[in-house]
Chain A
Amino acid sequence: MSAPAVQFHHDADRLATDLRHRELVHTALSKYEVKRDEMKARFQDWQGARALAAATKRKAISQLDRHLEQLARGLEARGTKVHWASNGRQACAIIVGIIKARNARLVVKSKAMTAEEIHLNEALEHAGFEVVETDLGEFIVQLRGEAPYHIVFPAMHLVRGEIRDTFATKLHDAPSDNPEELTMVARRVLRQKYVEADVGITGANFAVAETGMVSVTENEGNARLTAALPKTMITLLGIEKIVPRLEDLALFLPMLATVGAGQLISGYNTMYGGPRQPGEADGPEEFHVVLLDNNRTALLADAEQREALHCIRCGACLNVCPIFRNVGGHTYGTTYPGPIGGVITPHLRGLQDWKHLSYASSLCGACTEACPVKIDLHHHLLQNRRNSAAAKPSWWQKTAFKFFVPVANRRGLWKLVTRGGRLGQRLHPLIKGSRLDPAYCWTKTRELPPVAKQTFKEWWRQRK
């Protein structure tokens, strides 16, 4: 097993039986579920919206080269510097270079999963800059030195008491465990950072090819401030974020909020096309957009799974996934957890190391049904299983089939083995659930179904 697979199994074993964790996930998601369904019902035609969104993304990705060029042209026409990064290392180097050239020290950052993907914070801290996450959930997990638990709700795994303790240790300011008071502590601390910061970094949820804009969705206003006050603004986004036309946002913004957070539309949806323009009161003097590939083109090259690039990172598939709800976000050990993470991580980081995620699924299809852009998630998990087995067949599966095939093909042998199975099961309790048990992986937490007292053939003969 690869190291990530060992870690996954270890953490999954622990959390699947952790009742407190289960309760926490249940509480957080049950409120979300009610609001999500309420908002979905407000659409005149939710299924029609999904079809339209899927068709729009398909169009965007099928002409990605043209759309990217159009996006870059539009941004550059308004004085934006567009950078292209083939991988995370290049993207980090570009961003570090921009900040160094400005002699900056303090960087404020709003939530960006692409930044998590390329470990941007580590790179910036290594280069000697102070980086402050400004999204409340991200701010909390940053103070705790953790990775985000969920792509939309980063601090979903924490209760108020834990957050109070974190604030008390790290900020020496924790009046109570009241969520409102805790939020106001973060507001006070971060307000100062915005005003002092030299550079603001944001992610983006969409990029509008036609008008040359990036669109940033948030609820807190932290991204707005990050993009308003520092002299230099940098936006990092994956090349797949494209939508063709500005009007497409009229569809995507409410869909993202509905399935992402149970809101009809998020608090702030902001399109940025350039640095401060002549006649505008404020805004950054420089605007840099960093377009990140980081193996997205490898996924694009897999025509069968290309549609996984339609993902808008709403997190809907995580929220409905029975595996995610039991093993939690950190167990995956990936930037993108849940079903979508199981589909794309093998493409982004290597199939053999991450194929185990394709098995972290009951194949129930809840993810596919939840996806606002209709990605056929559970079938892509099956395709990853197939591809990984074809590329590197497992020796024990091969061995097992080497024994199974001749047995299944010979009536006498088959009879012998089924009788043996009946006898074996009577003796099984002696070793059941112990390491001697050949069915240990199954029997440590479950019962084996009993082998039938007689075979169908025996029954049929008796019946006559």
Chain B
Amino acid sequence: MVEATEMKAANHDTNSPAGEQRASERANILARVREALSVAAPADHGEAAAASSIPAVLPAVGATFEDHVALFQKNAVELRAEFKVVNDASDLVAELKRLAAEAGWRQVATHRGELTDAVCPALGLPTVTAKSGADKRELERCDAGITECDALVAQTGSVVVTSRSAGGRALSVLPPHHVVLARREALVAGLPDAFALLRVRYAANYPSMISFITGPSRTGDIERILVLGAHGPKRLTVLLLATPP
């Protein structure tokens, strides 16, 4: 009788027994971890003493803005991404128009932002704006996704976007061509600088996604032969604005 009542209760409220189990497994695992750690591991192989700082071991980055532009450019070539430094907002519009004409864009996707708002309307193309409730199928049909970014990393040629600053999660990966608009101050030297920048900008409340994008989507899963555009964008274009808009 008691059992039947319990089963009935379980049927009515599926959350509570699952919740209880969750809580107990959490306790079990943590208890096993603590028990295991009560015996200390043998001394390390001298790593702690030898360890220096992360920036000192990573690839060298150079000191000036020009060094970083050159390094980003070198990495972009290697990654088969396109990178261009433009002087001002009107050059940025001209560059976008050139890309649109060259690739025959019919529809683009973007998001609300200071830079995107300043240049995207000038394209004169039908534009899907990534916002709450936007249709993912419509986004999939766009020829290009134009986003802002949080940082460009010279050391690795990476573009840092977040779900807050670059129109959510799908915009930077679903359309076949991703165009990144970057401000001068977005270009940082190395990966540690990019993480430091993210911390300063978001530490109080991180976005739900932070993505380091390095080159167009790629795969080597068939005979280790490089193919671009495995699932994400086949083309990645990074446009760096040398002066404020």
Contacts and interface: CB of A to CB of B under 8 A. Distances in A.
Interface of A: 27-28, 31-32, 42-46, 48-52, 54-55, 58, 62-65, 68-69, 72, 78, 83-86, 90, 97, 101, 134-137, 140, 153-156, 158-160, 163, 179-180, 182-184, 186-187, 190-191, 195, 211, 213, 219-222, 224-225, 227-229, 239, 246-251, 253-254, 261, 264-277, 279-283, 287, 291, 293, 297, 300-301, 303-304, 306-307, 374, 376
Q: Interface of chain A, helix or strand or loop or mixed?
A: helix
B192 interface: yes
Contacts, number: 309
Contacts of B2: none
17 contacts: A58-B44, A84-B29, A86-B28, A156-B224, A187-B229, A190-B231, A219-B230, A227-B209, A254-B58, A261-B220, A264-B59, A265-B156, A267-B213, A269-B211, A282-B130, A303-B41, A304-B42
Contacts of B32: 293, 297, 300-301
A297 to B, nearest CB: 4
B22 A58 contact: no
B26 A254 contact: no
B213 A101 contact: no
Contact of A272 (B172, B208, B233): B208
A10 B29 CA distance: 38
B203 to A, nearest CB: 8
Contacts of B227: 179-180, 183
A239 B134 CA distance: 36
Interface of B: 14, 18, 22, 25-26, 28-30, 32-37, 39-42, 44-48, 50-54, 56-60, 75, 111, 130-132, 134, 136-137, 140, 156, 158, 163-164, 167-174, 190-192, 194-196, 198-199, 206-225, 227, 229-233
Given A48-B52, A78-B208, A136-B219, A297 B170 contact: no
A222 B230 contact: yes
A300 B221 contact: no
Given A84-B22, A179-B222, A51 B47 contact: yes
A191 B163 contact: no
Contacts of A28: 223-224
Nearest to A224: B173
Given A219-B217, A275-B208, A48 B230 contact: no
A399 to B, nearest CB: 35
B48 to A, nearest CB: 5
A46 B57 contact: yes
Given A228-B169, A247-B196, A281-B131, A267 B218 contact: yes
Contacts of A267: 213-218, 232
A250 B58 contact: yes
B29 A293 contact: yes
Contacts of B195: 246-247, 249-250
B59 A42 contact: yes
Contacts of B229: 183-184, 187
Name, among A155, A190, A249, the residue most crowded by chain B CB atoms within 10 Å (CB to CB).
Answer: A249
Contacts of B198: 246
B139 to A, nearest CB: 9
B222 A182 contact: yes
Nearest to A247: B195
A384 B50 CA distance: 29
A187 B154 CA distance: 30
Given A58-B41, A281-B131, A221 B54 contact: no
Contacts of A249: 191, 195
B222 A183 contact: yes
Given A251-B54, A254-B191, A282 B212 contact: no
Contact of A270 (B60, B136, B211): B211
Given A86-B28, A213-B206, A272-B209, 11 more contacts: A49-B58, A51-B47, A58-B48, A84-B25, A153-B224, A158-B222, A219-B217, A224-B232, A253-B191, A276-B168, A282-B132
A195 B168 CA distance: 16
A201 to B, nearest CB: 16
Contact of B221 (A52, A62, A135): A135
Contact of A265 (B28, B136, B158): B158
Given A213-B206, A221-B232, A224-B169, A68 B30 contact: yes
B51 A283 contact: no
A329 to B, nearest CB: 14
Contact of B222 (A42, A63, A163): A163
Nearest to A101: B14
B221 A140 contact: yes
Contacts of A136: 219, 221-222, 230
Contacts of A227: 169, 209
Contacts of A261: 220
Nearest to A269: B212
Contacts of A229: 136, 170, 174
B59 to A, nearest CB: 4
Nearest to A215: B210
Nearest to A159: B223
A58 to B, nearest CB: 6
A108 to B, nearest CB: 11
Name which of A154, A307, A376 has the most chain B CB atoms within 10 A of its CB: A307
Contacts of B215: 267
B53 to A, nearest CB: 8
A266 B215 CA distance: 9
Contacts of A303: 39-42
A3 to B, nearest CB: 29
